[in-house]
């Protein structure tokens, strides 16, 4: 007799949506597949030799300490490096005592959900929003409210209207090269958002994993720099170095640090002590900009190639974003298309993407697709987009008549 586990599953677990992305990635792992589905950095640019040297140096010089338990807040020299780097880049005033090292920025989102969200609390997200955040926050059973993005970032008028109607106190967003849209907040939007947050007493969870891979335009200071007392700034080494190291960080106000550390201790005691030390040694012994420049140069070419392919292979009336960094293009097909039906066919042609519905908490996204350009060569991008265009054409060949 099979045991009935379903009756024991919590409502919190049941509320977490499935990850279409992870399911697609499992299918697309076959070598003959072309995948634009995952948010994957390009492994061709992982700093293998430098990380290997950093690992060896840590084990030779600090091996016993690196393999021991450590403090929950994280390796102090790494926290000091984070502060020094971003204070220099963005004129922020970060302090090591306000930094917590996490197991990827995803853990930071889970910790912040546990800190702030009670069941049915209103929580504001961008529209569309990052699926990983939707999953992390869903476990705490919030009442989601999504606010549209414009070409300059979150729609501030709509945001204020939602705040007024819901009395929400938490906003989550990605101001740089947003996942999934690739949109960035303008400098004016960042400043005006800070004013709005202060006026209404809103906490902003500023998720910023892509700021290090800007390949066009001018770097802009985070919203955190305008309102550090009401912004929790989250970053990651996944895009800067490699995602397999699973190391991120968050910077929070003084009064929240003890509470967040209790949550961290209840979750996993500490982030990986060995990896934190290896990351610090890598950053200290190498010039990060040299490594990042190779990555950014490649991603720019790959993005441009994907946009060229959209214009060549996709139907008239298709609309796409043109990000200045990050890893994603957000594409909207003309009326009449359903990308969940498209992907059923495209998988048969061995090409994958993520349908837009995955990034909405309610309705929306049926004509959208998220396309990742970072994890494929220019040649593979052209071939994959050609296959994808051929798949879309099967649904409405009349919309491919060029004028």
**Segments of the chain with pLDDT less than 50:** 403
Measuring CA to CA, which residue among 332, 268, 232 is closest to residue 107? 268
Q: For residue 110, give every residue at least 6 positions away whose Cβ sits within 8 Å of its Cβ, in sequence order, or none.
A: 136, 139, 267
Residues whose CB is less than 8 angstroms from the CB of residue 215 and which lie 6 or more positions away in sequence, other chains included: 296, 297, 299, 300, 303, 324, 325
Cα dihedral 128→41→389→176 (10° resolution): 30
Pure H helices in 42-145: 48-66, 76-90, 104-116, 131-138
Q: 121 with 95: CB under 8 angstroms?
A: no
Per-residue pLDDT at 104: 93
Strand ordering across the sheet containing 328-332: 319-320, 328-332, 368-372, 354-355
Q: Which residues have CB under 8 Å from 108's CB, separation 6+?
A: 100, 102, 234, 248, 249, 250
Domains contained in the chain, CATH given:
11-46+290-396 (3.90.1150.10), 48-285 (3.40.640.10)
**Nearest-5° Cα angle at 39, 36 to 43:** 90
CA within 13 Å, CB half, 97: 5
Nearest partner of 329 among 354, 346, 366, 361, judged by Cα: 354
> Which pLDDT belongs to residue 263?
97
Under 8 Å between Cβ of 130 and 174: yes
Q: Residue 47 and residue 242: Cα distance in Å, rounded?
A: 8
Cis status of the peptide bond prior to 128, with omega within 30 of 0 = yes
> Which two structure tokens, joined as six digits, stand for 303?
């993005």
Cβ-count burial 207-232 (b if 16+ within 10 Å, e if not) = bbbbbbbbbeeeebbbbbbbbbebbb
- Token duo for residue 81: 């490096």
Query: How far apart, in Å, are the Cα atoms of 5 and each of 10, 138, 354, 383?
Result: 10, 21, 31, 45
What is the pLDDT at residue 403?
A: 39
Non-local CB neighbours of 157 within 8 Å, separated by 6+ positions: none
Q: Which of 388, 376, 352 is nearest to 35 (CA)?
A: 352
The confidence score (pLDDT) of residue 19 equals 63
Cα of first residue to Cα of last residue in the chain, in angstroms, is 65
pTM to 2 decimals? 0.94
Predicted local distance difference test score (pLDDT) of residue 185: 98
Contact residues for 93 (Cβ-Cβ < 8 A; gap 6+): 87, 228
């Amino acid at each position: 007799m099979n045991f009935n586990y379903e009756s024991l599953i919590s409502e919190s677990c049941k509320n977490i949506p499935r990850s279409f992305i992870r399911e697609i990635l499992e299918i697309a792992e076959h070598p003959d597949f072309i995948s634009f589905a995952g948010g994957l950095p390009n492994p061709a640019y992982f700093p293998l030799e430098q990380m290997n040297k950093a690992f060896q140096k840590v084990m030779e010089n600090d091996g016993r300490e690196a393999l021991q338990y450590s403090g929950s807040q994280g390796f102090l020299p790494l926290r000091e490096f984070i502060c020094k780097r971003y204070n220099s880049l963005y004129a922020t005033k970060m302090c090591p005592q306000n930094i917590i090292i996490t197991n990827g920025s995803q853990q930071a989102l889970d910790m912040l959900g546990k800190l702030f969200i009670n069941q049915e609390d209103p929580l504001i997200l961008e529209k569309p929003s990052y699926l990983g955040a939707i999953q992390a926050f869903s476990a705490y059973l919030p009442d989601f409210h999504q606010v549209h993005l414009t070409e300059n970032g979150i729609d501030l008028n709509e945001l204020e209207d939602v705040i007024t109607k819901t009395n929400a106190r938490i906003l989550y967003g990605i101001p740089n090269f947003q996942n999934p849209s690739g949109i960035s907040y303008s400098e004016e939007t960042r400043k005006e958002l800070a004013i709005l947050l202060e006026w209404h007493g809103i906490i902003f969870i500023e998720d910023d994993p892509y700021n290090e891979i800007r390949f066009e335009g001018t770097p802009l200071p985070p919203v955190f720099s305008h309102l550090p007392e009401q912004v929790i700034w989250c970053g990651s080494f996944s895009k800067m170095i490699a995602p397999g190291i699973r190391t991120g960080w968050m910077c929070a106000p003084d009064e929240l640090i003890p509470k967040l550390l209790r949550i961290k201790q209840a979750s996993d005691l500490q982030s990986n002590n060995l990896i934190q030390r290896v990351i610090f040694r890598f950053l200290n012994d190498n010039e990060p900009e040299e490594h990042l420049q190779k990555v950014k140069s490649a991603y720019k070419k790959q993005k441009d190639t994907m946009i060229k392919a959209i214009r060549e292979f996709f139907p008239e009336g298709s609309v796409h974003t043109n990000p200045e960094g990050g890893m994603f293009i957000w594409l909207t097909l003309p009326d009449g298309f359903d990308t969940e039906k498209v992907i059923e066919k495209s998988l048969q042609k061995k090409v994958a993407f993520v349908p837009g519905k995955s990034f909405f908490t309610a309705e929306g996204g049926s004509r959208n697709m998220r396309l990742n350009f970072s994890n494929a060569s220019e040649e593979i991008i052209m071939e994959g987009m050609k296959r994808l265009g051929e798949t879309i054409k099967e649904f409405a060949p009349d919309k491919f008549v060029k004028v």
